[in-house]
Chain A
Amino acid sequence: DTEVTQTPKHLVMGMTNKKSLKCEQHMGHRAMYWYKQKAKKPPELMFVYSYEKLSINESVPSRFSPECPNSSLLNLHLHALQPEDSALYLCASSALTSGGGETQYFGPGTRLLVL
């Protein structure tokens, strides 16, 4: 099974709401990622988790709060978002290898609209 699942597929939220995005993989991968993709732009990294620990935070505002409760799950908690945060949020996972051939598996994304 090489699938990364993300829920929900679509999310509409107001600026005062709190919501969470969920990502799950069962490939035994120990690295998981959140990317953000605005329309017509390439994905941009937000966070990297290695062995369930946050290893990279690309200066993301604190209204985005990641969480990795176990090796298969990755959450992104959202609070007090702004309309400019509307985007496609992509989760990915990869096996932790030392070589440059490591590949990432992406989920279908959650399309978020902030009103």
Chain B
Amino acid sequence: DAKTTQPNSMESNEEEPVHLPCNHSTISGTDYIHWYRQLPSQGPEYVIHGLTSNVNNRMASLAIAEDRKSSTLILHRATLRDAAVYYCILRRPGSARQLTFGSGTQLTVLP
């Protein structure tokens, strides 16, 4: 799977939007962009995924650049419970099934 690059850490104020960036300049045309997060002392949990179009679900929105070389996870109103490590992962159909985690972004939410 292609490599992703994320900032090591970000801070946000509670109840403000958070934009978490991910660069994936070597993405192939069939790679899906997945986001998972890991809250303290828990296993990772799925957040959202997309291929080309922007996606929304109850947890977050995913904005994908037109050239697909970058994407942004958007938390519309950060809460203290959103403090976690956020991982951006590329998945290719038919490739190995495991998730290859990068170092992720540690999000701190300030009250």
Contact = CB atoms under 8 A, between A and B. Distances in A.
Interface of A: 4, 31, 33, 42-45, 48, 50, 55-56, 90, 92, 94, 96, 98-109
Nearest to A4: B43
B93 A92 contact: no
Interface string B64-96: 000000000000000000000101000111111
B53 to A, nearest CB: 13
A104 B14 CA distance: 29
Given A100-B32, A101-B49, A103-B34, A108 B96 contact: no
B91 A48 contact: no
Q: For chain B, what secondary structure do more than half of its interface residues adopt (helix, strand, loop), or is it mixed?
A: loop
Contacts of B95: 100
Interface of B: 30-32, 34, 36, 41-46, 49, 51, 85, 87, 91-104
Contacts of A43: 44, 99, 101
Contact of A50 (B85, B91, B92, B97): B97
A114 to B, nearest CB: 19
A44 B98 CA distance: 9
Nearest to A44: B101
A90 B97 contact: no
Q: Which 4 A-B pairs have the closest CB atoms?
A: A106-B43, A42-B101, A100-B32, A100-B93
Contacts of B41: 108
B98 A100 contact: no
A93 to B, nearest CB: 11
A108 B43 contact: yes
Contact of B97 (A31, A44, A101, A107): A31
19 contacts: A31-B97, A33-B98, A42-B85, A42-B87, A43-B99, A43-B101, A48-B96, A90-B43, A90-B44, A94-B97, A98-B93, A100-B30, A100-B31, A100-B95, A101-B49, A103-B34, A104-B44, A104-B46, A106-B44
